[in-house]
Structure 1
Amino acid sequence: MSRSRARGRTGSRRQVSARRAEPSAGLLAAEWGPGPGGGMGCAPPGAGEAALGSAQPTPRVIDCIQLKVPVIQQLYHWDCGLACSRMVLQYLNHLDNDEFQKAIQELQLTKSIWTIDLAYLMRHFGVKHKFCTQTLGVDKGYKNQSFYRKHFDTEENRVNQLFAQAKACKVMVEKCTVTVQDIQNHLSQGHVAIVLVNAVLLLCDLCSSPVKYCCFLPIGQKCFCRNPDYQGHFIVLCGYNKASGSIYYNNPAYADRTCCTSVSNFEEARTSYGTDEDILFIYTDS
């Protein structure tokens, strides 16, 4: 695996029209509030109502949902995963800045953050989670990949040890394949997810101009080098629209927007070689 180490990056690679996908008439849509502590926001009339003569709510498919996950920008070129973790914890009303910094020190998180590190961070805060991946450990095939090469030798043993100790530490890790339907079902319940993507491939439909950053430069400093084949980056999933085939996500490279891309582009970016299809499901009932 390439344990999904990710550093900050990225905006869209192409210029597209700034259109926001809206639910069409007749679609069941919902906008959820900031998590358990703040209560849920509005839902459409009749959503979750019990069927006539039934004591239990009748499940209804939500075709469009956008969760109110706060946007928090990363501070450095390497901490996109930590910024995503802060978004999630604030959404759950679990974020305390002093405690967060203390957790980083206790878990000995450095400038090389892997998905398994974020799973341990969620466990530290008592957040219910499930880390799904295609590789339980470090994929040795990534040793020669430019994105991983610099830290590979020093990180391989550390990351493999985290995987080996995960069960004993009550960090939930599972080798499995996740579908778009799985992700949509998860989001429809008000839950969120941190996903590792290849930022070179991820294209936001709402960002009107291309923005390019290099993970090896301070955030905000433009990079004029040739685009690499793989650039690991963490994002937070916060919604979808089935009618338009869209996925909503918070990109920690920005501080002022929720991004949107097509399901096909999202799938291309999250299943790219280098990601191990890592996805960290976060549950609100923590």
Structure 2
Amino acid sequence: MNILPQSKHYNLTHYQQRYNWDCGLSCILMILSSTQREQFLNNFEGICKEEGFGSSTWTIDLCYLLQRYQVRHEYYTQTLGIDPNYTQHMYYSKIIDKDEKRVTRKFKDAKAHGLRVHQRTVDMEVIIKHLARNGPVILLTNASLLTCEICKRNVLEKFGYAGHYVVLCGYDINLQKVFYHNPEVHDGHICRCLSEAMDTARTAFGTDQDIIFIYEQQQNSNQ
């Protein structure tokens, strides 16, 4: 049995989101190489138009973007498509009508495009093991439940459900904490919270427990 390292950290370049909708894209920018990041930013509007999401991204959109840049990843979710219960949810009611056809089509075509999409949920132990052995993790969280020990407050200061993507970049088993990049943070510091607190934010209703495991070359990390 392989024993996990007591701690792990991936050196990512922090990128602050520019709008109120691009947290997911900002997480992708943190994962990409500097050359890929520059290409994406230089062609930002055109790529958003080509990918079809405009100013509203779902996790499946992020997977297609990662595939575009040949970043190896796997996507785990509770729901393949859109949970019909979300139509009654204030956060989603404004965007589902606009996004449903695109999101449904992208899920349907995922396998044909070489995407690995799994309908299952994972626990924090699986997430920590991935961080230890493979690479960073993109999580969809309820930002209203996400509080960083460094920021000392909920960065977004919203109530109810507020879907927000973050990138897990490390952990410390002894401290029972995870470290993450929050695209909303302006000074680039790495946020941290208890693993249990992150688990609460990522499994909240509305997230579908969406998670993207990134498989990265090991030279980009240190223990």
TM-score by length of 2: 0.90
Structure 2 CA distance for partners of 1:281 and 1:85, relative to 1, 3 Å: same
* 1:269 and 2:210 correspond: no
- Residue 280 of structure 1 corresponds to which residue in structure 2? 212
Structure 1 partner of 2:221: none
Output the amino acid matched with 2:181: N
- 1:168 partner SS: helix
Match of 2:63 in 1: 119
Pair 266,209 (structure 1): closer, same or farther in 2 beyond 3 Å: closer
Q: Alignment RMSD, CA only? A: 1.9
Amino acid at match of 2:125: Q
Q: 1:96 to 1:209 in 2, by over 3 A?
A: closer
Deviating above 4 A after TM superposition, structure 1's stretches of 4 or more consecutive aligned residues are: none
Contact 2:15 2:26 in 1 (8 A): yes
| TM-score with structure 1 setting the length | 0.71
Which structure 1 segments of 5+ residues have no match?
Answer: 1-57, 214-226
Match of 1:62 in 2: 5
- 1:194 and 2:138 matched: yes
Deviation per CA, 1:141-166: give whole Å up to 9, x if none.
00111111111112112111110010
Answer 1 or 2: higher relative contact order, Cα 8 Å, separation at least 6. 1
Among 253, 266, 270, the alignment partner of 2:184 is 253
SS, match of residue 95 in structure 1? helix
Out of 79, 97, 100, the residue aligned to residue 38 of structure 2 is: 97
Secondary structure at the aligned position of 2:208 is classed as coil
Say which SS state the counterpart of residue 121 (structure 2) adopts. Answer: coil
Where does the alignment leave 5 or more consecutive residues of structure 2 unmatched? 219-223
Larger Rg: 1
* Corresponding residue of 1:128: 72
C-alpha change, 1:99 and 1:206, in structure 2 (3 Å) is: closer
Contact persistence 1:200–1:229 (CA under 8 A):
yes
Deviations 1:185-220 (A, max 9, x none): 11112501110000000111111355445xxxxxxx
Equivalent runs, 1:60-209 vs 2, <5 Å: 60-90=3-33, 93=34, 95-99=36-40, 101=44, 102-209=46-153
Q: How many residues align?
A: 214
SS in 2 for 1:151: helix
**3-state DSSP of counterpart to 2:64:** helix
Structure with higher helix content: 2
What is aligned with 1:242? 173
Could you tell me whether the CA contact under 8 Å between 1:66 and 1:240 is conserved in 2?
Answer: yes
Question: What percentage of aligned pairs have identical amino acids?
Answer: 36
